[in-house]
Structure 1
Amino acid sequence: MRVLGMISGTSHDGIDVGLVDFDPDYAGGTLAGVVEYTAVLPYPSELRARLVRALPPAAVTLAEVCELDTLIGQSFAEAAGTAIERAGPVDLIVSHGQTVFHWVEGPRARGTLQIGAPAWIAERTGTPVLSDVRVRDITAGGHGAPLVCLLDVLLLAGYPGTAAVLNVGGIANMTLVRGPDDPLAYDIGPGNALIDAVIAGRGLNACGFDRDGRIAASGTVDERLLAVLLDDPFYRLPAPKSTGKELFHAAYVEEAMAKAGTRPADADLVATLTELTVRTVARAVRAAGAGLLVVSGGGCHNPVLMDGLRRACAGVTVAFSDDYGAPADAKEAIAFALIGWHTAHGLPGTVPSGTGARGPRVLGSLTPGSGPLVLPAPLREPPRALTLTGEVPARGEEDDRRRADRFTGGR
């Protein structure tokens, strides 16, 4: 079964695409998948600017939400159409869409909103679309995040100790795979969110992020500000927990500087926010006693952040998700393709100990394609492990992998 997964994460910079051909003869045990195509497609600059202006804590009208829902849906439709033109037809498309609000009160998630109307994708491709994949977990008492936990658990099923699987996007989230014990997954805190907010807000780089960590590398950490940032109550909440740009945004940085009574230069501020991510992640990894840290997401390309993690996690083996068959820039898209495969076969797509839900749930809502909606025969047993294959480019092989578009095998 060929499933195309798509997501725009909390960096709000574009659409990650991953096409996986899952073994049609799966009969229990280990599921095999071939990653046939991945791409990272940036939003048009005007659309991204408009989206960012609408995000919390900004006030926004329903008219603007409606228009963004359509425009983002059309962007996802174009991304799906391009993937199919280049890699061939697919059986199912899974569109996570774009998160614009994640409603959390203390330890509980109350709701979540992803936009990007799936009907545009179905109309463009003629393929059924699974969308709205988070909210069912929230109705069962979970956080609806991090759903990538399902992929992490299956990919690292053979690791004998405790593995920490980290995604550094706008928000940093981590799955702890602990052998036969229940896994644990949660949002750690701001991955790139605060760094990107400062860089975009102060016009420090036209690309909107700290390319290659150059700005952070030129600055010095402000320890007084860092202490205030590390004291946020969110870090003391028990896992599982979730967060987003509803908390970690540009105004949050301004408030922290005012509380600390310091106003560092631009490079020093970026260095401090980068160190915040390093320390919060390293603290979580050390507390878990992990022997392996597997990293994915945009933060992979920031050498200041990665070098900081290696230093702070001394004695822990640090690897990239590429080593496990999931290209770091497309891992979340691949995770949603996997969730789609589960839903199509009537299997839960959640790990309750990872989201905090009362139990596992089959995820998403289906929009039919151009023909009758026909699903595979239900399966009784979910996979206990996953192997992914496909050619993964060597790190550094591309000029800018955050804007890459590539086949990794394919037809």
Structure 2
Amino acid sequence: MISGTSHDAIDTAIVDLRMSDGVLEAEVRHTAAVPYATELRDRIAAALPPGRTGMDEVCRLDTAIGRAFADAAAAAVAAGGPVDLVCSHGQTVFHWVEDRQAHGTLQLGQPAWIAERLGVSVVADLRARDIAAGGQGAPLVSYPDSLLLAGLPGRPGALNLGGIANLTTGGPRPLAYDTGPANALIDAAALAATGRPYDRDGAFAATGRTHPGLLADLLAEPYYRREPPKSTGKELFHSGYLDAHLARHPGVADADVLRTLTELTARTVAAEVRAHRIDTLLVSGGGVRNPLLMAELAILLPGVRLTPSDEAGLPADAKEAIAFAILGWHTAHGLPSTLPSCTGARGPRVLGTIVPGGPDTSLPPPAKQPPHALRVLR
């Protein structure tokens, strides 16, 4: 279970996982996206940077989001059948990166509500251990990505286009990092221009033209030139950040702003894909449903096969939820699920904390060896 940086819905996936000759086999039984209630989504948005909130609202949000996650978990079980374990990422509200080092991270959505509702153990708070070991705590999907890419020919990569874009490369020493904004700034501009939280199918942006001056200003952001490992979020790429750039370019039409931001995402992603000479790119996240963004990427990446992760058996809209199911499986079996080459940590770590489901629930015995590849059964 996860709600990403777009904080629009709780993504759930029920996945049967088992080991076979060192390969982790995954069968996806059910996926869903449960939208946040409008009032709760508005409260989350108000609490995120550049907003300010008090500890009283943090406490209330932790409970409200936890209850929403428990409702979404119960709905998934009702539709997809019983589960043995839940892995909940919760809702990131702050990711503390300073001087290029991650110092802390905060995800809300108290997992005890899920454990109480379902009566099974819950793995949560997955990012903190990697950060304590000197890592970025992100992108954690790099580990499931690397298992999936291990079985593909050529120079494959995996790209997730959520609020923030992250890229994982294949090969014996994978790299993974946040490339910059995917939908975060596009959504902020859409909300300001239309009152709607996103630009469906990129339709409004498609009516505009890229503004060269604004694009050049946005591309001057120092984050893009930093070497990985690196991570970012709405602590940097938020509505106030966009407003500051727009103030230097008054009079840009709303549709042109959206088109320019779409170009920004495409250019920053494409630059990283080219740098790693990736020839096949599995794309997931909400951005894969944006025809304009995908068309821009195709233009900038001639010769690169762009394919939705659905073709590898991972529904693009639920890939991160499936990835966290895999991370939770590793934690339950006492296995590390981070790659130091991806997060920058001192070494692999077993992630998360475990909230017991009840006196009759127990974890499986520790696994002797981690998987070396992932196979999605269809």
Mapped partners of 1:381, 1:283: distance in 2: 36
Q: Displacement of 1:387 after TM fit?
A: 0.8
SS in 1 for 2:87: strand
User: Residue 167 of structure 1 contacts residue 174 of structure 1 at CA under 8 Å; is this kept in 2?
Assistant: yes
The separation in 2 between residues aligned to 1:104 and 1:122, in whole angstroms, is: 31
The residue aligned with 2:74 is 81
State the secondary structure of the residue aligned to 2:52.
Answer: coil
**What's 2:12 paired with?**
17
Which is further off, 367-376 or 71-80?
Answer: 367-376
**Residue 39, structure 1, aligned to residue 32, structure 2:** yes
Does the 8 Å CA contact 2:111/2:355 hold for their aligned counterparts?
Answer: yes
Alignment length, in residue pairs?
378
Name the CA distance, whole Å, in 2 between partners of 1:290 and 1:251: 34
Q: Which amino acid aligns with 2:36?
A: Y
Distance 2:365 2:20 in 1: 12
Match of 2:368 in 1: 380
Query: Gaps (5+ residues) in structure 2?
Result: none
Between the aligned partners of 2:250 and 2:226, the Cα distance in structure 1 is: 27
- In structure 2, C-alpha distance between the alignment counterparts of 1:358 and 1:372, rounded to whole Å: 36
Instruction: Please give the root-mean-square deviation of Cα atoms over the aligned residues, in Å.
Output: 1.0
Which digits, 9 at most, give the CA deviation of each residue in 1:122-162, with x for residues without a partner?
Answer: 11111110100000000001001000011111111122322
Q: Does 1:233 align with 2:222?
A: yes
Residues 1:197 and 2:192 aligned together: no
Matches of 1:106 and 1:198, distance apart in 2: 28
Number of the residue aligned with 1:183: 174
**C-alpha separation in 1, matches of 2:214 and 2:314:** 36
Give distance in 1, aligned partners of 2:151 and 2:81: 32
Q: Helix, strand or coil for the counterpart of 1:124?
A: helix
Work out the CA distance in 2 between the residues paired with 1:161 and 1:109: 33
Which of 143, 149, 156 aligns to 1:156? It is: 149
**Residues 133 and 364 in structure 1, CA contact (< 8 A), matched pair in contact too:** yes
CA distance in 1, matches of 2:170, 2:231: 18
Q: Please show how residues 184-333 of structure 1 align to structure 2 within 5 Å.
A: 184-202=175-193, 204-206=194-196, 208-259=197-248, 261-333=249-321
Q: Specify the SS of the correspondent of 1:7.
A: coil
Q: Which residue of 1 aligns with 2:122?
A: 129
In the TM superposition, residue 310 of structure 1 has moved relative to its aligned partner by: 0.6
Amino acid corresponding to residue 338 of structure 1 in structure 2: I
| C-alpha contact (below 8 Å) 1:126/1:371 kept by paired residues | no
CA distances 1:313-343 after superposition (whole Å, capped 9, x unpaired): 0011111111111100000000000001101
Q: Is the 8 A contact 2:149 2:157 kept in 1?
A: no
Kindly, what percent of the aligned residue pairs are identical? 57
State the alpha-carbon separation in 2 of the partners of residues 369 and 231 from structure 1.
Answer: 49
Contact 1:28 1:382 in 2 (8 A): no
SS of equivalent to 1:9: coil
Q: TM-score, normalised on structure 2?
A: 0.98
Q: Give the 3-state SS of the residue equivalent to 2:115 in structure 1.
A: helix
Correspondence for 1:114: 107
C-alpha deviation, 1:27, in angstroms: 5.2
